[in-house]
Amino acid sequence: MLYKIMNEFLYIILLFTIAFFSSLIYLTKKKSSSLLSYLLNLNIEYILVGIIISYTIKSNNVTFSQDFTPYLYFTLFLTGILFGAQYKFSLLKTINAKFYLFIFIIFLLYTFSLVVFLKLLGFNSQFAILLNTTFPFSCILLNKLMKNKASNYYNNLILLSLYPLFSYTAYTIFVNSFLNTINFIMFFLISAFVIIIISKTIHFNDKRVLYTLNIILLILFTGLTMTFNLSPLSAGFVIGIFIANIKYGDVFINTTDFLDKFLYIILFILIGIYLYDKIMLINISKIVALISILFVTLFTRKYLAQQLFNKLILNSNDKINLVNIGIIPILFIIEIKTIGIIDLTDMLPTIFLLFIITEIYNFMVLKNENS
């Protein structure tokens, strides 16, 4: 038993060590306008690292059980906080109401289209909620590498950044419909109370103290999500929004922002670990599902989005492209399996391929526009 625990502990330390040093190496990566540079700067190679780690784990007969769960909860909770912390009400109020209407319509159209296609293909229609999101990080990175200075980039980025607000809200409602809503409310009230008390009574100028305090709070809140059996992503998302909109919220946010590169690498490694067992599950029905989802995505979030934007946002010739799925659906699938709602991990290879294809598509579209 002790040998098993030590093995699990060593693999977890290895995972975090790789992520830490890789986040430093990220700064030295070549930044060019090539497709390879774009994919490498997305940290996609760390999915391969995760697959290798998973292979060595299985080869040494190490089985992660409850011992790994707190680390996974911590990672997902921190991810949720960083998601939610983007949305300050003071900034959201400055955005044209037509943008919200536009996103809401596209969000509903895409969800409805996915539900219809998934039911026709015999797949779980709940999957539509998990898939309907965007990944602004890759859009920012792509436009930075391509040195795109076109004015339409900013409108497109606003839309891509607002879209997850609808996605994460829908996911929070979806996932908590399976869980205890009272527990979620209790968690929020306890967490909010602790944050307000600390923000009003403790003011440190020493950043090391702030970093330490933030880590302690993250561990505390992660423990609460496990105790109340909550979704760490949705709990983190709600707390992130709350923190971003209180008086001293920036004190908390600024000391967690430095973790973003480290966190992305951790997430890609985790995706690789979960992908390892599912790679061989690709079959004809999954390929048909991939092609269908890709068609719905291109038609709804590229063609229809462009038409609607031109009609709704007057005097606009901006080129709109919301074909940006990202890795978030994979995290949703990992989480709902972890908290015992439903196991959709068989679809992970399909979603991963969709992620790669849409990123390559976005690269080719922007390269063509710039040329």
Q: Per-residue pLDDT averaged across 48-55, rounded?
A: 79
Single out the residue of 16, 317, 250, 287 nearest to residue 8, CA to CA: 16
Structure token digits, residue 167: 């996605």
Comparing 369 with 165, the larger pLDDT belongs to: 165
What's the pLDDT at 104? 94
pLDDT class of 267 with cuts at 50, 70, 90: confident
The three-class DSSP label of residue 271 is helix
What's the pLDDT at 149? 63
What's the pLDDT at 3? 42
Q: Per-residue pLDDT averaged across 169-180, rounded?
A: 91
Structure token digits, residue 256: 């967690």
pLDDT class of 169 with cuts at 50, 70, 90: very high
Residue 173 has pLDDT above 80, yes or no: yes
Length of the chain equals: 371
CB 352 within 8 A of CB 270: no
Residue 5 has pLDDT above 50, yes or no: no
How far apart are alpha carbons 118 and 260 in whole angstroms? Answer: 33
Q: What is the pLDDT of residues 126-167, one digit of tens each?
A: 888 898 988 887 777 777 777 766 656 677 788 888 999 999
pLDDT class of 4 with cuts at 50, 70, 90: very low
CB 202 within 8 A of CB 213: yes
**Range from 20-29, 219-228, 343-352 carrying the lowest mean pLDDT:** 20-29
Q: What is the pTM of this model?
A: 0.86
How far apart are alpha carbons 273 and 342 in whole angstroms? Answer: 19
What's the pLDDT at 124? 82
Q: For residue 342, what is the DSSP state?
A: -
Supply the DSSP string of 293-337, one letter for each residue: HHHHHHIIIIIIHHHHHHHHSTT--PPP------SHHHHHHHHHH
How far apart are alpha carbons 260 and 262 in whole angstroms? Answer: 5
**Range from 39-43, 243-247, 323-327, 349-353 carrying the lowest mean pLDDT:** 39-43
Q: What CATH code is assigned to 2-62+74-370?
A: 1.20.1530
Residue 328 has pLDDT above 70, yes or no: yes
Structure token digits, residue 175: 């996932």
Comparing 142 with 31, the larger pLDDT belongs to: 142
What's the pLDDT at 224? 92
Torsion of CA 341, 263, 297, 357, to 10 degrees: -120
3-state helix, strand, coil in the chain (%, to 5): 75, 0, 25
Q: What is the end-to-end Cα distance of the chain in Å, rounded?
A: 61
pLDDT class of 96 with cuts at 50, 70, 90: confident
Per-chain mean pLDDT for the chain: 81
Q: For residue 279, what is the DSSP state?
A: G
What's the pLDDT at 205? 64
Residue 82 has pLDDT above 70, yes or no: yes
What's the pLDDT at 255? 63
Share of the chain above pLDDT 70, in %: 81
Comparing 57 with 349, the larger pLDDT belongs to: 349
Structure token digits, residue 56: 């060595």
Name residue 337's amino acid.
K
What's the pLDDT at 284? 84
Residue 291 has pLDDT above 70, yes or no: yes
Comparing 148 with 188, the larger pLDDT belongs to: 188
Q: Per-residue pLDDT averaged across 3-30, rounded?
A: 56
pLDDT class of 1 with cuts at 50, 70, 90: very low
Q: What is the pLDDT of residues 206-248, one digit of tens each?
A: 667 777 778 888 889 999 999 999 999 999 999 999 988 887 6
What's the pLDDT at 198? 79
What's the pLDDT at 42? 78
